[in-house]
Amino acid sequence: MNTDHNVLRQIMRRSLSGKDSHVGTAAILAGLDWKLVGVRPSGAPHSVFQIVNHIIYWEEWVNKWLDGGSPKVPRHADGGWPGKIGPANRKEWQQTVRRFGSVLNELERRSRKGDLLVKRGKWTRVEIVHATGSHTSYHIGQVAFLRQLLGSWPPPTGGLTW
């Protein structure tokens, strides 16, 4: 594989992991109490639980696309915000955290396959993975902010608080 493709793959991995940009994407949910993730602070449009399910929704969508599928785009933005404000119990939250990690790992794995520059419709693999990394990063920042508002920052692994 040529050097250009290796550089692109490294950029995609970093985009998905948050490496060198912010607290690791996979670590952002560590140590969060299940009751807290369903709290929506005054003025906040979403809870942590809603944001995590939104990220999962779109990462699963991209995984299907990377596999050659043609997943439907929701008719309206709210179609990409599935579920309720908070989990019903600790078990539901733990399952959501595992699913989040699994979907992220699958996306990273799929991003390493195939020709990065072949176009499907209006996107190449590298473009859609990069866009997904940016989308995820945006929402991870929201989770960090909500954690700060809720008094649950930093995660156990630490946080980049300059």
Is 1.20.210.10 the CATH number for 9-149? Answer: no
Average pLDDT over residues 96-108: 95
**66 token code pair:** 């990377």
Cβ atoms of 26 and 144 closer than 8 Å: no
pLDDT higher than 70, residue 160: no
Q: What is the DSSP letter of 126?
A: H
| Domain assignments of the chain as residue spans, ordered by start | 9-149
The DSSP 8-state label assigned to residue 157 in this structure reads T
Residue 127 CB neighbours (<10 A): 14
Contact by Cβ (8 Å): 36, 149: no
Strand (E) or helix (H) holding 16:
helix 3-17
The mean predicted confidence, pLDDT, of the chain is 90
pTM of the predicted model over 0.85: yes
